[in-house]
Structure 1
Amino acid sequence: MKSRSSLRSLKRQPGSIVVRRRGRAFVINKRSPHLNTRQS
């Protein structure tokens, strides 16, 4: 899981959900898990 400076391009991918947990933004994608990311 890599950190990204911008999650905007990732949240446009099919199946992506942006979730905020513990002060961080996560992109969770169950269709293609290699798109899972964390932004601090």
Structure 2
Amino acid sequence: MESSKIIFQPSSNIILKHFNYFFLIKIVIKELFFLIFFKNY
């Protein structure tokens, strides 16, 4: 049980990191989109 936990932990950490990066990229794209949108008007 403990050994499997140790094996699982890093992969879940990597997945969480990737999810956080994805979320940040989404926010940045939204901000850029709104900037461009408001600049055109």
TM range (shorter): under 0.3
Higher-helix-fraction structure: 2
Structure richer in strand, relative to its length: 1
TM-score normalized by the length of structure 2: 0.16
Higher RCO (C-alpha 8 Å, min separation 6): 1
Compute the TM-score of the two structures, normalised by the length of structure 1. Answer: 0.17
Larger radius of gyration between Structure 1 and Structure 2: 2
